Structure formats: C-alpha cells, structure tokens
Amino acid sequence: MTNTESAAGAAKKAPAPKAPAKKVAPAVAVDPAVIEVRNPGTGEVVGSVPTETADAVAAKVRELRLYQPEWEAIGPDGRKEWLLKLQDWLVDNTEHLADVLQSETSKPRVDALIDPAFSVDLTGYYARRAAKFLADEHPSPHSPLARVKKLTTVYKPYPVVGVITPWNFPLAMPVIDVIPALAAGAAVLLKPSEVTPLSALELARGWAEIGAPPVFAVVTGAGATGAAVVENADYIQFTGSTATGRKIAAACVERLIPYSLELGGKDPAIVLADADLDRAAHGIAFGGMFNAGQVCISVERVYVEAPVYDAFVAKLTAAVKDLRQGIDGRESKHDVGALANENQVLIVQRHVDEAVAAGAKVLTGGKRTGVGTFFEPTVLVDVDHTMSCIGEETFGPTLPVVKVADEAEAVRLANDSVYGLSASVWTGDKDRGERIARQLNAGAVNINDVFSNLFNFALPMGGWGQSGVGARWGGASGVRKYCRQKAITRPILPTQQKELIWFPYQMPKLLVALGAMRAAGARGLRRVDIPALLKLKGDTK
C-alpha cells in the first residue's frame, strides 16, 4: 500500500469530466422483494438480489445449526484443509473477484485487487494457526492448595455466528470476520450491505465450489434482514455506523447474547516539527483518500505543529492535487474512485459547505464532479473543532488541517472526539512518537505510517468510545472471541468420601481448611489466625 501512495504523488492529474454533475440512484428496492445493485460511478444496474424475510433467515440459521456440530468435530486441522482450499479459490479467482467488486463499488483497479489479496493473507493466517490458538490451556494454580487439581480451559465455538458487514470493502470486510469464526468451529451467517452484496455472494459461491461443508451462508436484504440475523444467531459481529451499532447492542442485550461492534471513526494524524514532511504528506494523502476516504480508519483530521505548518500544507495540497480520479476497468488508470452512494456525497458536501460558511478555506477540491457519485479529493484549512468536518465522521475524501502550537495541543485536540478507532503520529524521533501514541485515546496508533496495524493480524483491531465494543484479531483472541470458555477441574490426588468443608460442618476441621486458605493467600503474620489455633487447643482466652 505504501507503493500506491508514492505512485499517487507522482501521477499527473487527469482533467475533470466536463459532463454536468447528476445524481445516481443508490441501490433501491424497485420491487420490495428485489434489490437492484448499481455501479455508483455510472448508475448502471449491475445485478439484483432478493430481500430475504425473517422467516427465510430463521430457516437458514436452523440449517446451519444442523451441520455445525460436524464442522466443530473435525477439529482445527480438519477445518484448516477447507480454509486453505478456499484460499486457493481466492487466488485462482482474483481477477474475477476484482471485476465483481469494481462493478458494485466503482473502485480503481488497484483498490479492487487489494480485497482478494488481503483475504488470501488473512485466511492463511487463521487456517494455519487455529489449532494452536484453540488448544486446551492448563493454567497454573494460584496457590499450593489448588495444586491438588489439574486445571483446564476448553474453547467451544458458538453454534452460529452472525456477521453483518458494510459496503466499503465488499469482499475483505466479510472475510475479516467470517474466516476466524469458521476457524473457531462456528457456522456463519453473513448479511452484507444491500449496497454491495455481490462480492459476498461470490465468496459463498467459492465455498460451495470447493465442496466445503454447508456451514457458511449469505442472506441479502436491508435493515429488516439484518435484524433477523441478530434475532437468530448466537453471536453478532457488526461493522458499520454507530447509530446502527447501538440498536444491535440493545437487541443483543435483550437476548443475552454476546456481540462485537466496530463502528465509526474520526482518526487524527499528528505531524510534528521534526517529521519527514514529504513522507508525512504522501502518507496522510493516502490515509485520507484511499478508497475515496471510505475507510473506518481513514485520516479525517490533521494536526500540524506551527513551525512546519505552511510547508506541510503545501506538500499535502500538491499530493492531493496530483491524484487521478475516475472509473477504471481492468486497467489501472486512477487513484480515487466514486463514493458508494448519493447519501455519502451529500454528507461530504455538507461538511465542506458548513466549514467554508464558518470561515474555512478549500485549497483543492471541495465539490462533486462529473457523472455519478464522484467528489473531488479535498484539503481544508482554517478549520476548528466547532465544525462538522472535525466533529462528525465524514467517510469521504476530505482532509481538514489544523495548526497547533505544540505537541501538547496536538494531543489534546486529537483526544477531543467521541471516537477512538486509530491515529497516526509523524515524527523523526520514534521514541517521542511512541510516547505520544500512548497518550492518544485510540485502539491503534501507527508511527510514521497509516493502516499498518490493519495488516498485522497478531494485533487487536478495536475502537474506544463510540468507535466500538470489543476487537477483532489479536492473534489467538481473533478466534477465541467466537468461543465460549469452559473450565474443567480434575483431581490429581486420591479423593476421600467427603472434603473438610462439606456437610455436616465440623468446626475444628472447618477451621483447619479456612486457616490453610488464609495461610496460602495472606501475607506476614496475618497468615496465622492465633485465636483459631487456641480454640483448637480448647483454650479460648
């Protein structure tokens, strides 16, 4: 991905299309039972999917429950073979998957190829490591008294995991959660966004084509279909808006089932005076404009120390101006594509217009362009925290830049947000960068880079505040999250008919047992209960 940012900086900007801007209808249900899928860059209908009812969802969950026990029983090594066959299928079908993905997103070709490549990498990681991650654990007893037992923790998968994904990465987002859940031994029901359901259906087709057990299914539809998944599955993994996440959390609490939510973000970048400004400018341009800014961990706020502010803004503006925007086929001609739907265009335009009305300046971009849902890559300056472009999630190709006096002000403003998904720090002193990273209220911080945590599955990916609940990945945690933990104790020494503290209570024996617990857990003279010892001798004075 770092190679892409360099290419973007060196590319010559293509002229904007001269056709007048016009709105393109998003995916809509012309027939309530059918959803049309459109290419947002052209408005062309590229497919249709059914709106599946609550009864249909419940039926699919029941079927998944029938096959899940056998899937669990073949163990991690058995599941590995199927997951690696799916990995082979992803490799063999990369070009086709990129074609489908472009048809429903209007991404540049390079962006479309990232989804299957990422999916291949993650599938291999969890397929090959699940056996180690899910192996029984035998923790050490906490005291000498507990050493009479062998302690075991067992990981048992939830029968059916429901995964609900957004439209920004139609293949990678499902794979991110479907694969670890399958590796854990769960069956999985996936509900992709109704805006981009076609890539998810290709993933299900691949699972069927390799002949894998029927423990992975896809349901299509809008909000009511997603609600039915929440009502029927045993665990919910949701990625999407904070507003929808709240509703899902409430529904899960009502059912007393676990859930994990990755929600909105408003990720800050801090540029310090000792940073490599060229790298920072290209990196932040990439971090803010990749996928037209439609990434949960996009750079959406930039704080720059005053001594280098002017120089940095000039470099950033030049890098953003050089970006090529347009529609790709299989050839790679552009860096930035269209927004996913008309609603996203309206949000981005509102944030820019409100900022300008409040005194901000547009250095490049600032408006939609051409046919479809394209919005120009935009740099804003003279912005502050009263503006929506700083306070609200934009999810579009804008980079608002704020001048700060020093490091302390940068940290304070970076933390002045209800969101806390990720952040970046740009500095020539890596120790200083880590010190600042530890002060930021975010689930991940990259030093002199963007997105790098997303490609390191040994690290957890989760948000703080209104950016979510729980995390994905984190090595073993990535599969264990889809499991229930079971504790087993097994005697090591020969057992007696009854223990000292069993009925009927006998005070002398009980005091021995309680005294042993105290001696093992307390400290100093408090380990010894003198009055109790005297009582055992028949002397209570």
In the prediction, which pLDDT does 490 show? 97
Segment 404-421 shows an average pLDDT of 98
Per-residue pLDDT for 538 more than 80? Answer: no
Q: What is the mean pLDDT of the chain?
A: 92
Pairing of strands 472-473, 460-461: antiparallel
In the prediction, which pLDDT does 508 show? 87
Neighbours of 505 (CB within 10 A): 9
Instruction: Give the Cα separation of 61 and 180 in Å (integer).
Output: 19
- In tens, the pLDDT along 527-537 reads 887 666 566 55
Per-residue pLDDT for 217 more than 80? Answer: yes
Q: How far is CA 270 from the centre of its chain?
A: 22
Task: Pick the range with the lowest mean pLDDT from 183-187, 412-416, 464-468, 505-509.
Answer: 505-509
Report the predicted TM-score, pTM, of the whole model to 2 decimal places: 0.92
The angle, 0 to 180 degrees and rounded to 10, between the axes of the packed helices 430-437 and 407-414 is: 40
In the prediction, which pLDDT does 109 show? 97
In the prediction, which pLDDT does 528 show? 85
In the prediction, which pLDDT does 145 show? 87
CA angle 458, 459, 462 (to 5 degrees): 140
Cβ–Cβ under 8 Å, residues 132 and 207: no
Grouping H, G, I as helix, E, B as strand and the rest as coil, residue 36 is: strand
Of 527 and 236, more confident:
236
Question: What is the fold, at CATH topology level, of the domain defined by 2-20+265-455?
Answer: Aldehyde Dehydrogenase; Chain A, domain 2 (3.40.309)
Look at residues 230, 237, 180, 184 and name the one whose alpha carbon lies nearest to residue 74.
184
Segment 102-109 shows an average pLDDT of 98
Look at residues 139, 159, 135, 160 and name the one whose alpha carbon lies nearest to residue 149.
139
Q: So what CATH class is 54-263+476-485?
A: alpha beta
Which run of H or of E encompasses 433? Answer: helix 430-437
- In tens, the pLDDT along 455-505 reads 999 999 999 999 999 999 999 999 999 999 999 999 999 999 999 889 999
In the prediction, which pLDDT does 536 show? 56
Of 135 and 509, more confident:
135
Alpha helices in 256-326 (DSSP H): 277-289, 306-321
Cβ–Cβ under 8 Å, residues 460 and 474: yes
For 165-216, what is the HEC assignment?
CCCCCCCHHHHHHHHHHHHHCCEEEEECCCCCCHHHHHHHHHHHHCCCCCCE
Task: Identify the bridge partners of residue 160 per DSSP, sorted by sequence position.
Answer: 187
Q: Tell me the catalytic residues.
A: 262, 296
Length in residues, the chain? 541
Instruction: Give the Cα separation of 194 and 220 in Å (integer).
Output: 7
Per-residue pLDDT for 27 more than 50? Answer: no
Segment 252-264 shows an average pLDDT of 98
Segment 66-71 shows an average pLDDT of 98
- In tens, the pLDDT along 298-351 reads 999 999 999 999 999 999 999 999 999 999 999 999 999 999 999 999 999 999
Instruction: Give the Cα separation of 34 and 51 in Å (integer).
Output: 5
Per-residue pLDDT for 164 more than 70? Answer: yes
Instruction: Give the Cα separation of 375 and 368 in Å (integer).
Output: 4
In the prediction, which pLDDT does 511 show? 86
Instruction: Give the Cα separation of 28 and 43 in Å (integer).
Output: 12
Sequence ranges of the domains in the chain:
2-20+265-455, 54-263+476-485, 499-536
Per-residue pLDDT for 240 more than 60? Answer: yes
Alpha helices in 342-420 (DSSP H): 342-357, 388-391, 407-414
Cβ–Cβ under 8 Å, residues 132 and 143: no
Cβ–Cβ under 8 Å, residues 257 and 234: yes
CA angle 442, 314, 429 (to 5 degrees): 45
